[in-house]
Amino acid sequence: MTKRDLVVKIASDTGLIQQDVLNVIQKTLDHIAGALATGENVELRNFGVFEVKQSKARIGRNPNAPEIDVRIPPRAVVKFKPGKEMRQKVVRLSKEGGDGAKSAKREHRNSATNPPPSTQASASIQQHA
């Protein structure tokens, strides 16, 4: 799902103008990013927590010259820890089978390009009538 998809869904659900929804979403994201940039954690109840953590220094390898060690310095990274409700929804998705989000995405894409078989059949029947 993209930011645009989110705007369209929220505007449809609330009856608000898409530009207003986009402005609110963008401001929300700006404030979250701003808080994280200052090292502050962002907790969204029932959704999850964005945390700034420090990664450790480590030794990496250059794929073009694997014999040379490359020192990777420590750095700040953002981690996301899903909340209880989100974890439960994702677990439910995995219990439904398939490969989860990939199959749902595939189904969404296919439904957009190919109507369901019953629709195709009724369309061809109407053309021949």
Cβ-Cβ contacts under 8 Å for 78 (sequence gap 6 or more): 36, 50, 51, 52, 53
Strand-pairing partners, residue 62, are 65
Does position 127 have pLDDT exceeding 50, yes or no?
no
Assign 51 to helix, strand or coil. strand
Look at 36 and 123; give whichever has higher pLDDT.
36
pLDDT in tens, 7-57: 999 999 999 999 999 999 999 999 999 999 999 999 999 899 999 999 999
Spatial contact of 69 and 59, defined as CB atoms under 8 Å apart: yes
pLDDT in tens, 87-112: 988 888 888 765 555 655 555 555 55
Look at 5 and 96; give whichever has higher pLDDT.
5
Give residue 119's pLDDT: 41
Cβ-Cβ contacts under 8 Å for 28 (sequence gap 6 or more): none
